[in-house]
Amino acid sequence: MEAAGKEEISVEDEAVDKNIFKDCNKIAFYRRQKQQLSRRSTYQASLDSATTGKDSTKFRIINETTKVPLLAEIYGIEGNIFRLKINEETPLKPRYEVPDVLTSKPSTVRLISCAGDADSLVLTDRKGDLKCHITANPFKIDLVSEEEVVMSINSLGQLYFEHLQIPLEQSDGDAYRLYNLDVYGYKIHDKMGIYGSVPYLLAHKLGRTLGIFWLNASETLVEINTEPAVKYTVTQMGPVAPKQKVRCRTDVHWMSESGIIDVFLLTGPTPSDVFKQYSYLTGTQAMPPLFSLGYHQCRWNYEDEQDVKAVDAGFDEHDIPYDVMWLDIEHTEGKRYFTWDKKRFPNPKGMQDLLRSKNRKLVVISDPHIKIDPDYSVYVKAKEQGFFVKNHEGGDFEGVCWPGLSSYLDFTNPKVREWYSGLFTFSAYQGSTDILYIWNDMNEPSVFRGPELTMQKNAIHHGNWEHRELHNIYGFYQQMATAEGLIQRSKGKERPFVLTRSFFAGSQKYGAVWTGDNTAEWSYLKISIPMLLTLSITGISFCGADVGGFIGNPEAELLVRWYQAGAYQPFFRGHATMNTKRREPWLFGEEYTRLIREAIQQRYTLLPYWYSLFYCAHRTAQPVMRPLWIEFPEELDTFGVEDEYMLGSALLVHPVTEPKASTVDVFLPGSNEVWYDSKTFAHWEGGRTVKVQVALDTIPVFQRGGSIVPIKTTVGKSTGYMTDSPYGLRVALSTKDSAMGEFYLDDGHSFRYLHQKQFLHIKFSFLSGVLINSCADKRGHYPSKCVVEQIFVLGLKKQPSSVTTRLSDGKDEPVAFTYCAQMSTLQLEKLSLNIGSDWEVHVR
C-alpha cells in the first residue's frame, strides 16, 4: 500500500478540466422530473379524510396517473413557521430523513380547522394571523396573511414524487445545483455545485420577508423563475381611497434525488423574524474564540519549523499583527493525519511554545480520508471497528486522495464521531497542545478519480443508507465531530475553532466556513462579496474568502485591495497553493507593506465591534455581514446591491474591486439617514449615490448616523496582547442628534460566559447631549480593568461650552475637549471611564 502513497497527486491535475462536472442535463433524476412535467401528471388531496392531531394535520395525496398514495403532514411550529412533510404512505423501503440538523424537535402549535369541505381545508393557529389554505384538486397549499397569498406550494402543479426510475433521453435545463464537490478554481456566476450546500431560500419584497428550508441532504436542483412586478389597484368599500399595490411572484421548483419532502415555511414577516425562525430550527452561529477574529496566515505549505519561526518573526519585524499560523498537509508524516513529519517538524510542542509566548495559535489540517497503511494506527483502529464507509459489495470503500489509496471515515455513524473526537486528546494526538486548532478540508468528500471527484452514490453508510441519500451532510458531520473533540479535550471548558470547506444547513453551530479554492483575479475578489453575503443570510456568519486568491500570483495592487476587503469580512485569512510565489505581507516592497499593515491594523482596531456582532449573531441570529436590504427592507434601491454591505447595523463597507480605480460609486441608503466617512469624518445625506475619490490606501467605510461603535485605541502583536488595552467610542449622531450602540465582553476563550454568566453586555446611548454607558443584561458579571480613554462625537453642529463626566457617585468632573467646527466633531482624550461601570458624559 505504501506505493500508492507515493503517487504524485495534484488536485490541479485532477480537477482543472471542468467538463468532469455535470450540468443539469446530465443528471438523470432532473431529466426525469422535467419530462414528467411535460405530461402534467396532477395530484389530488383527499381532504374529506383529513385528521388533525395534537402535532399535525394529516391527509392523503393521490397521483392521478400512478394511483400511488402519499401521506402529507402539516405542522404549525412556534414562531410563525409551518412544516410540510410528504412521504409514500407505504414505501417499499424506508426513505432517508435528515437527522441532527435541527437543534431539537420543534415545538408544535396545534392547528385548528376554521373552514373546510371535500374541496378545501383552512387551518390556522390560535392567533389566526396566518391561514393555511389547502385545495384538493389539483393539490395546492397557500399561506395567507391579511387576505394576501404570501407563499404557495404546488401552485404550478409541478409536484412529482418519484416511485420508479425510467431512463430518459437528455433534455436541456438550467437549475442551481446543490451537490458538494471539490471544484478547484470554480467558475464564477455559475449554478454548478461547489463545496457546500444550504437548501434554504429567502424571498424579500416591500413589506414581507419569507424563507423556505428544504430539509434534504441528497443531490438537489432548484429552478427559480421570477415574474416581472405588476402594479394593481385595490378598491375598497366606503369613502376609502383606492390602494396601489405591487404583485411580485417567484416560482421555485425543488428537485431532490431521494429522501422525503420535508419543507419548513418561514413566514417572517421581517428579515429579523426569518433569521430567528431559521435559527430556531438549525441553531445559531457558535460564539467564536476572540483570537479567531484576528488575522490568519496560511500557505500550502510552510516548509518546516524554521520556516514557521521566520514567518512569525517577520510579522513582528514589520509591525503587522496576526493571531494564527496554519499548517497544510505537508506537516504530516506522509499525509497521515494526527502525525508530524519528523524531519520537518521534530519539535512541534516547542514550535507551539514559541507561538504561545506571543499569544498566538496554530491550526493544522485534518481531512476525512485515512491512508490505507497497516502501520498507521489511526487506520488500523478504524478498520478494526468497521468505521469506514463501505462499498456496495460490503468491503471498505477505497478511493485516491492526497495520501494515495485511502478509506473514508463514516462520520454519519455516532460511534465513529465519538471515536474521532477522542483522537484530539493530548494523549492521542502526540505533539498537540491547547493552542492547536483544526481545519477540515476535502470533506465533500473529495475522491480523486471518483465520479465528479467524489464518492460513488452507491457507497454504504451507517444504517445501510446509500451515499446518495446523505452526500451533502458528510462534511457537516466531520466538523461536528471535530468541534466536539476540541471541547472534550478541554473537559468542556474551552471554545473550539474549526474551519470547514464542506457545509450544510446548521454548520454554523460548529465553526467557520470559507469559499474554497479561489483564483488570484479581480473577478474573484469581486464575487467574494455576494458569496459571503449568501452564506451570512443562511446562518453561517463566520465566513471568509482566501485573501489574495488561493490559485495564482496576485499583482501587488490586487493583493492590497484583497487585504482591505478581507479586513472587513468575518473570517480573515491569507492563503496560497504550493506552486505560487511566497506572498507574506512584507514581500512586495515598503509601500505595499505599509498599506497591508494599515488594513490589518484596522481589523484589530475594530475587534470590539466584531466581537459584539458575533455575540449578537450567537444570541439572536442576526447576520454579522448583511446585505443592505436587511437594514433597509423598505428601500427598493437596496435590493439588488451586492458590491457593498453592512457590518452589523452601523458600518457600510464598499471594497474597491476594480484595478487602478480612482473613484467608486457608493450608494448610501436611507433618505432620513446621515453617513460619516470613518477615516475623514466627512458626512453625506443618505438616499443617494456618491462618487468617492479613492487612492490605494482608501477603504471606503461609512458609519451610519445614530450608531456608536466601540474600538481599541492601540493595536498589539495579537489579540492576546490587547486584552487590557483601552477602548474608544465613535459616536455618529443621527439627523435627530442621537445615537445608540452595544458592546460585549468576556474572557474571549471559554464557555464561562454561558455557564457562569461571566460577561459584560453594555448599551450606549447619546440623547440630548448626554452619553450614557449602562448595563444591557444584568445577568452578566465580568470584572474588567479596561477603560474608555477616547470618545469622538461626529455630527455635533455646535461647539459645547463644557464637557463633564459623571460616575456612579454622582460627582461631575470637567473634561478637556477639542472641537472642529469645519468637520462638526468633538474629541475627548485621556479619559479613564471603566468599561464595566455605569457613567455619563454631559456635553453642554
Q: One of 14, 328, 441, 746 is an active-site residue; which one?
A: 441
Residue whose C-alpha is closest to residue 700's, from 661, 653, 668: 653
Cβ(667)–Cβ(641) below 8 Å: yes
- Rounded to an integer, what distance in angstroms lies between the CA atom of residue 485 and that of residue 490? 9
* Active-site residue, 88 included: no
Kind of pairing, strands 56-63 and 43-52? antiparallel
Query: Within 13 A of 353's CA, how many CA atoms are on the CB side?
Result: 5
Q: What is the DSSP letter of 25?
A: G
CA angle in degrees (0–180, nearest 5) for 231-234-235: 145
The single residue listed with the C-alpha cell 433597509 is 632
Looking at residue 531, the DSSP 8-state letter turns out to be: H
Half-sphere exposure of 164 (CA within 13 A, CB side): 7
Query: Going along 53-161, which residue ranges are E strands?
Result: 56-63, 69-77, 81-88, 108-109, 112-116, 120-124, 130-135, 140-145, 148-153
Beta bridge partners of 87: 71
CA angle 633, 638, 639 (to 5 degrees): 80
Strands (E), 257-411: 261-266, 295-297, 324-327, 361-365, 369-371, 398-401, 404-408
CA gap 170, 646 in Å, rounded: 44
Residue 281 makes CB contacts below 8 A (sequence gap 6+) with 81, 101, 102, 103, 106, 213, 264
Nearest to 530 by CA among 515, 512, 546, 509: 515
Query: DSSP assignment, residue 570?
Result: S
- State how far the Cα of 78 lies from the Cα of 64, in Å rounded to an integer: 35
Q: Out of 262, 444, 452, 742, which one is annotated catalytic?
A: 444
H or E segment at 526? helix 522-537
What is the grid cell recorded at 819? 472641537
Phi and psi for 509 in degrees, rounded to 5? -70, -15
**Residues 125, 323, 330, 517: which is the catalytic one?**
517
Q: What is the CA radius of gyration of the chain?
A: 28
Determine the Cα–Cα distance for residues 93 and 385; give it in Å rounded to an integer.
27
CB contact at 8 A, 503 and 252: no
User: In the structure grid, which three cell numbers stand for residue 546, read together?
Assistant: 482566501
Which of 724, 267, 218, 249 minimizes the C-alpha distance to 473? 218
How long, in residues, is the chain? Answer: 844
Q: Is 213 in a helix, a strand, or coil?
A: strand
Burial class of residue 638, CB neighbours in 10 A (0-12, 13-18, 19+): buried
Cβ(218)–Cβ(256) below 8 Å: yes
Angle of the 607-620 helix axis to the 590-605 helix axis, nearest 10: 50
Helix axes 556-566, 522-537, angle to 10 degrees: 10
Half-sphere exposure of 163 (CA within 13 A, CB side): 14
Whether 777 is a known active-site residue: answer no
Q: Does 119 participate in catalysis according to the annotation?
A: no
Nearest by Cα to 41 from 72, 70, 1: 70
Cell 391561514 belongs to 131
Strands 770-775 vs 839-843: parallel, antiparallel or unpaired: antiparallel
Report yes or no: 338 and 377 within 8 Å, Cβ to Cβ.
no
Q: What three-state secondary structure class fits 601?
A: helix
Where in the sequence numbering do the catalytic residues fall?
Answer: 441, 444, 517
